[in-house]
Amino acid sequence: MLSSVLGSAARLVVKFSDADTRQTVSVRQSDGRDEEQYLFSATDNITGMVEVEVQGSRKLEHTGVKVELIGMIEMLQDRSNTYEFTSLVRELEPPGELSGSKAYPFEFNQAEKNYESYDGINVRLRYFVRVTVNRQYSGKITHEETIRVFVSLPEEPETNNSIKMEVGIEDCLHIEFEYNRSKYHLKDAVLGKIFFLLVRIKIKHMEIAIIKRESTGTGANTYNESETVAKFEIMDGAPVRGESIPIRLFLGGFDTLTPTFRNVNNKFSVKYFLNLVLIDEEDRRYFKQQEITLYRK
């Protein structure tokens, strides 16, 4: 629950019906501060109360009071480039005068929340409840209350095959790597093994990284941005032929992981990769990248 004050005209407050029991999540903002946001599932109804308090004994002329539920995608590199994929409006008060304080119940039942909230490098998807007091001459008074939406799978993926691949350099290096699954929930563990079948180069160490790739735009205007979520050294020293190196990577410790998003509203995608890197004694790097799917359980 937050309030909005414009000058001394009025104070707007949004209170959700189950605020005392509803879970909240801490979300890092662009200015570095953490903001607590109420958490909703895709099927939750959004109900509550809007309070409008006119300051002092004055009267506030207005042309209507309304509350909206909005789902919006914002391209952060172009703040003017926004897309509303959900927009529901409830009229709370017809044109007239307000004085003192007044409370209005609101409800958005079975509102579509098909996409999960996301704060990325170049794109943000957010849901918010916006209260507006329209005025004819003095400008409108607004307040936005951002909420967080998580979308969970109703059941485990029907198919979840293991990943088996080979990588090598002719007459120098031949390895096989295997991951136990191709799809993981956000608190899962990636298990696997690396098999060395041929080693004729002097490997210094080996590491594995989780790479996040965010894509915005479409066609020729697609822009990709990658970041390393985590990196671990899984071997130090030269392996020998026939050696096997185990992999055990727990995903639950990384708060920045999100589900995989594919072509959200034709605006952006988020994919994850396991990046296996070998570094030899001359600091040459040999790597193999494999896409994995992450989901919320």
CATH number at residue 38: 2.60.40.640
pLDDT, one tens digit per residue, over 234-249 is 888 878 888 888 999 9
Does one domain contain both 242 and 167?
yes
In the predicted model, is pLDDT for residue 196 greater than 60?
yes
- Beta strand 118-119 with 244-250 is unpaired
Q: Are residues 174 and 117 in the same domain?
A: no
Q: What percent of the chain has pLDDT over 90?
A: 62
Assigned domain for 185 exists: yes
Q: Is residue 157 part of a domain?
A: no
Indicate if 108 and 56 belong to the same structural domain.
Answer: yes
Strand order in the sheet with 173-179: 163-169, 173-179, 189-199, 244-250
Same-domain pairing of 78 and 171? no
The pLDDT value recorded for residue 74 is 94
For residues 284 and 176, membership in a common domain is answered with yes
The tokens describing 56, both together, are 């002092």
Per the prediction, the chain carries an average pLDDT of: 90
Q: Are residues 144 and 202 in the same domain?
A: no
Given 150, 181, 208, the domain boundary residue is 150
Locate the DSSP E strands across 109-202. Answer: 118-119, 123-134, 141-150, 163-169, 173-179, 183-185, 189-199
> Is 68 within 8 Å of 34 (Cβ atoms)?
no
Do residues 125 and 180 both lie within one domain?
no
> For residue 204, is pLDDT > 90?
no
pLDDT at 2 over 60: no
Please, which pLDDT band fits residue 7 given cuts at 50, 70 and 90? Answer: very low
Q: What is the pLDDT, as a whole number, of residue 45?
A: 96
Statement to judge: residues 168 and 103 lie in one domain: no
Same domain, 176 and 235: yes
pLDDT band at 8 (very low <50, low <70, confident <90, very high): low
Considering the domain boundaries, does residue 158 fall inside one?
A: no
Angle at Cα 158 formed by Cα 155 and Cα 164, nearest 5°? 125
Q: In this structure, is residue 290 part of a structural domain?
A: yes
Closest CA to 112 of 70, 155, 57: 70
Residue 68 has pLDDT above 80, yes or no: yes
Clarify whether residues 136 and 201 are in a common domain: no
Torsion of CA 185, 16, 60, 68, to 10 degrees: 40
Structural domain boundaries, residue 276:
163-295
Question: Which residues make beta-bridge pairs with 43?
Answer: none
β-strands 64-75, 82-93 pairing:
antiparallel
> Is residue 185 domain-shared with residue 291, that is, in the same domain?
yes
Our count of domains for the chain comes to 2
On whether residue 177 sits in a domain, the answer given is: yes
Last residue of a domain, one of 150, 175, 203: 150
Lowest model confidence (mean pLDDT) among 129-143, 155-169, 204-218: 155-169
Whether residue 264 lies inside any domain: the answer is yes
pLDDT number for residue 6: 43
Check residue 155 and report its DSSP letter: S
Confidence bin at 5 (pLDDT 50/70/90):
very low
- For the cut 80, the answer to whether the pLDDT of residue 231 exceeds it is yes
pLDDT value for 280: 84
| Same-domain check for residues 64 and 103 | yes
- CA 244 to chain centroid, in Å, comes to 36
Decide if 194 is inside a domain: yes
pLDDT at position 249 is: 92
User: Exposed, middle or buried by CB within 10 Å (0-12, 13-18, 19+), for 6?
Assistant: middle
Average pLDDT value for residue range 152-177: 85
Among residues 102, 117, 150, the one where a domain terminates is 150
**pLDDT for 227:** 94
Query: Is residue 155 domain-resident?
Result: no
